[in-house]
Amino acid sequence: MDVSIRNVRKEFDRYPALHNVSLDIRSGELIALLGPSGSGKTTLLRLIAGLERPTMGAVHFGSEDASHHSVQERNVGFVFQHYALFRHMTVAENVGFGLKVRPAATRPATSEIRRRADELLDLVQLSGLGKRYPNQLSGGQRQRVALARALAIEPRVLLLDEPFGALDAQVRRELRRWLREIHDTTGHTTVFVTHDQEEALELADRVVVMSQGRIEQVGSADDVYDRPNSPFVYGFIGDSSALPVHVERGQVWLKDRALGLSAPEASDGEAMLYFRPHDVELLDGCGGCIAGTVAASRRVAGTRRVELEIGGEQHRVEIELPVDHPAASKSRIAFRPKRWKVFSQPVEAAKAA
d(CA 135, CA 153): 24
Give me the residues paired with residue 317 across strands: 308
Instruction: Please say which residue, 35 or 277, places its beta carbon nearer to ligand ADP.
Output: 35
d(CA 44, CA 54): 9
Instruction: Please say which residue, 42 or 217, places its beta carbon nearer to Mg ion.
Output: 42
Q: Closest Cα to residue 221, out of 238, 196, 239, 204?
A: 204
Instruction: Please say which residue, 28 or 165, places its beta carbon nearer to ligand ADP.
Output: 165
Are 268 and 250 in contact, with CB atoms under 8 Å apart? no
Tell me: does residue 241 bind Mg ion (CB under 5 A).
no
Tell me: does residue 211 bind Mg ion (CB under 5 A).
no
d(CA 193, CA 208): 10
3-state secondary structure of 252: strand
What number of chain residues touch Mg ion (CB under 5 A)?
1
Tell me: does residue 38 bind ligand ADP (CB under 6 A).
yes
Tell me: does residue 41 bind ligand ADP (CB under 6 A).
yes
Instruction: Please say which residue, 18 or 148, places its beta carbon nearer to ligand ADP.
Output: 18
Tell me: does residue 251 bind Mg ion (CB under 5 A).
no
| Residue at shortest CB range from Mg ion | 42
Are 250 and 264 in contact, with CB atoms under 8 Å apart? yes
Label residue 281 exposed, middle or buried (CB < 10 Å: 0-12, 13-18, 19+).
Answer: exposed
The distance of closest approach from Cβ of residue 71 to ligand ADP in the complex, given in angstroms and rounded to an integer, is 16
191 Cβ contact partners less than 8 Å away, ≥ 6 residues apart = 3, 25, 31, 32, 33, 45, 48, 157, 158, 159, 160
DSSP summary character for residue 267: P
The distance of closest approach from Cβ of residue 191 to Mg ion in the complex, given in angstroms and rounded to an integer, is 12
Residue 179 interaction partner, one of Mg ion, ligand ADP, none, beta carbon < 5-8 Å per kind: none
Among 39, 42, 143, 189, binds Mg ion (CB under 5 A): 42
> Which window, 37-45, 181-189, 220-228, 267-275, contacts ligand ADP (CB under 6 A)?
37-45
Instruction: Please say which residue, 41 or 176, places its beta carbon nearer to ligand ADP.
Output: 41
Tell me: does residue 194 bind Mg ion (CB under 5 A).
no
Task: Please report, as ranges, the residues that interact with Mg ion according to CB under 5 A.
Answer: 42
Binding residues for ligand ADP, rule: CB under 6 A, are 12, 17, 35, 37-43
